A and B are shown apart, each in its own frame.
Chain A
Amino acid sequence: MNSNTTDRALYGGGVSDPHLQILKSKCMNCHNYHSEWLNYTTDDDWLNYGLIIRGDAANSLLIQRTVNAGGNMPQGGSPLSPAEYQVLLDWINNIP
C-alpha cells in the first residue's frame, strides 16, 4: 500500500453529489487505507454499514463524530463549515 493507492477512487472522475464531494475531501482523504469508506458508492452502502440512519441525521454515527456535533472529526483537518455540515444533514434526512 502506497500513500497514493486510493487516488483513483478518491480523486478520479467528477463527483456530482455534493455530500460525496464533502465526504471525499473532508473524510475519505484520511479514511481510505484503513477503512472501506471509498467502497461505499450508494446510500444503501452507508446505511448498511451503520454509519447513517435513514432520515435521522442527528442519531447517525457519521454526524455524531463530527466536531460540529461534539465529536472530534475530522482530526488534523479543517472542520466542516456550517454549509458543508448542513449538506450532510440534508442528505441523510432526505434519503427516501
Chain B
Amino acid sequence: MKLITLFFFLLFSKFVWSYPHYIGHGYPSCMNCHYNPFGGGTVNDYGRAVSATALSADHLYPSSWDNEKTAYHSGFLFRPPTQKWVRTQINYRGFNIIRNPGSGDVEKKEWITMQLDGRAVLKFGERDQLLFSAGLSYTPKPASPGPGVKDESDIRSREYYVGFRPTPSFGVYAGLMDKVYGIRIVEHIAYSRTYPQVTQNDQTHGVAFHYLTSEWEAGAHVFLGNLGQEEDIRMKGASLQVEKTFGSIHRIGGSVMKSENEYLSLMAYSGQLRMSLKDGASFQGEFGQVHKQSANGLVDIVSRYGLLQTYLKPFRGVYFLTNVEYIKSDIESEEYTVRWGPALQYMPIQRTEFRLDLYNTRNFNPKTSVKDTWLLLLQTHFWL
C-alpha cells in the first residue's frame, strides 16, 4: 500500500523527471526514475511503476488488473520490495542487425548481445540521501578486435558510485559513471554520442555535481578517465551541462566537455532542445561540434553533428519514432553524411520492449556519388 501511495503522490507531484524523450510524458529530468540523476543505470521504484503503468501496454494483463495492481507487481521479480535498503535490476538487450537487407550477397546478418547487466543500489535516508550503486555487465568483444581490445575482459562494470544528496536540489556523486554531456539517448551509435566519445562503454571515474530546481538542471563532472585502462590512454577532463525549463514543460540547454590523454585531445560543445508535444509525444534535438587533435600531428579536425528525434505515441505501449542524424566529419570539407529512418517501439507488457529500426545512410559529396547503405535493426529488451 505504501508503494501505491508513493506512486500516486509522485505521479501528481510537481517535480517529476525521467528519460530524455519521456519529456513527452511530463518528465523533463531523468532523476525521477533513475538513481543516477543524469539518467541510465538502475531504475527506482517510481520509474518501475511508471514503466509498468504508463509506458507499457495493458492489453496482456487480466481484465481485473488496474494500474494499482500493475504498479504493485513492478518490483524486482514482480514483487513489491519488502525493505527500503536495497534495489536490484537485471537487464538484457540483444540486436539482430541486418546490413543492406534484400541485397543478396551484400546482405549481412548478425546477432549482438548489447547489454546484459546486473545492478544493485544500497540506499539510506528518507529521501535516499546516501546511496551506493554498482553494476556488472557482460560486454562481448568483436570477432576481429583491434589492438588493446583483445586483452580486455568480457565482464566489466559500467557503473559504481557513491552518491550523497544533502538537499533535494543538490547532490554529489563519485565513482565510475557516464560522462555528463549532451542528451543521453539510448542509441549509442548516434553521431552525437560517438564523436564526443560518450558511447556505451565510455564511462569514467570522477566526481559529478548535480543541481536541480523547477527552472534549472545542471551538472558538472571532473573525471580522471577509466582507471581500468592504462594511464596513457585514460581520457582526463571535465564537462558542464546546463538545461533550463521553458513553457513549463520544455527544456533548452547546452554542454561543453574537454578531455585528453597522451595521444589525443578532444573539445566538444553542444546545444540541445527537448520539447513535450502532447500525450507522450516529444521532439528532441542536439547540435554540436567536436575538435580532435592528436599529439603526433596526424589529426587536427573539427567535426559537426546533429540529431533530431520525434516520438509519437498512437496508443499506450507503442511509439513511432523518426531519427535524423547529420555528420560533417571535417567542417572544411564539402562532404557530409545523413543517417535517417523510422522506428517502431512496442512494449507489450512491463519489462519487455521490442523495437524495429530502419537506418538509411546517405553520403553527400559534390565530387562523387556513393551508394547508400541500409541497416535493419531488431531489438529485444527484457528486464527484471
| A interface residues (Cβ-Cβ under 8 A, vs B) | 1-15, 21, 24-25, 29, 31-39, 67-68, 72, 75-79
Pairs across A and B, CB under 8 Å, 30 listed: A1-B149, A2-B201, A2-B202, A3-B197, A4-B197, A4-B229, A4-B235, A4-B264, A5-B229, A9-B146, A10-B263, A11-B295, A11-B296, A11-B298, A13-B296, A24-B298, A25-B299, A31-B146, A33-B149, A34-B145, A39-B147, A67-B365, A67-B370, A75-B363, A75-B373, A76-B191, A76-B327, A76-B337, A77-B329, A78-B333
Nearest CB of chain A from residue B326's CB, rounded to whole Å:
10
Binding site for A on B (CB under 8 A): 139, 141-142, 144-149, 152, 191, 194, 197, 199, 201-203, 226, 229-230, 232-235, 261-264, 294-296, 298-299, 327, 329-330, 333, 335, 337, 361, 363, 365, 367-368, 370-371, 373
Q: Do B333 and A1 touch across chains, with their CB atoms under 8 A apart?
A: no
Q: How far, in Å, is B256 (CB) from chain A's closest CB?
A: 18
Nearest residue, chain A, Cβ from B203? A2
Question: Please, which residues of chain A bring their CB within 8 A of the CB of B327?
Answer: 76
Query: Across the interface, which residues of B come within 8 angstroms of A5, CB to CB?
Result: 146, 148-149, 152, 229, 233
Taking a contact as CB atoms closer than 8 A, the residue among B144, B230, B298 that contacts A15 in the complex is B298
Q: Are B296 and A7 in contact (CB under 8 A)?
A: no
Docked CA distance A34–B278 (Å): 41
Given A11-B298, A36-B144, A67-B365, A72–B329 Cβ distance below 8 Å?
Answer: no
User: Beyond the given A5-B229, A75-B370, A79-B368, could you list 4 further A-B residue pairs with CB under 8 A, ordered by the A residue number?
Assistant: A1-B149, A5-B152, A35-B142, A72-B363
Are B264 and A37 interface neighbours, CB within 8 A? no
- A3, A8, A29, A37: the one within 8 Å of B263 (CB): A8
Instruction: Say which residue of B147, B194, B226, B298 sits within 8 Å of A6 (CB atoms).
Output: B147
CA distance A77 to B333 in the complex (A): 9
Complex: A21 Cα to B197 Cα, angstroms? 23
Q: Quick check: B147 and A14 within 8 Å, CB to CB? A: no
Nearest chain B CB to A47's CB is how many angstroms away?
17
B371 touches A72 (CB 8 A): yes
Which of B141, B146, B335 touches A37 (beta carbons < 8 Å)? B146
Query: Which residues of the partner chain B approach A12 to less than 8 Å between Cβ atoms?
Result: 262-263, 296
A76 to chain B, nearest CB (A): 4
Q: Which residue of A lies closest to B336 (CB)?
A: A76
Residue numbers in A under 8 Å from B337 (CB-CB): 75-76
State in angstroms the CA–CA spacing of A21 and B370 once bound together.
Answer: 24
Q: How far is the CA of A6 from the CA of B149 in the complex (A)?
A: 8
Q: Which residues of B contact A39 (CB under 8 A)?
A: 146-147
Cβ–Cβ contact B144 & A35, under 8 A: yes
Distance between Cα atoms of A31 and B328 in the complex (Å): 18
Q: Are A75 and B149 in contact (CB under 8 A)?
A: no
The minimal Cβ–Cβ distance linking A86 to chain B, given in whole angstroms, is 16
CB distance from B334 to the nearest CB of A (A): 9
The interface residues of chain B lying within 8 Å CB-to-CB of A4 are 197, 229, 233-235, 261, 264
Alpha-carbon gap, A61 to B89, bound state (A): 46
Interchain CA distance A62-B114 in the complex, whole Å:
29
Q: How far is the CA of A44 from the CA of B145 in the complex (A)?
A: 19
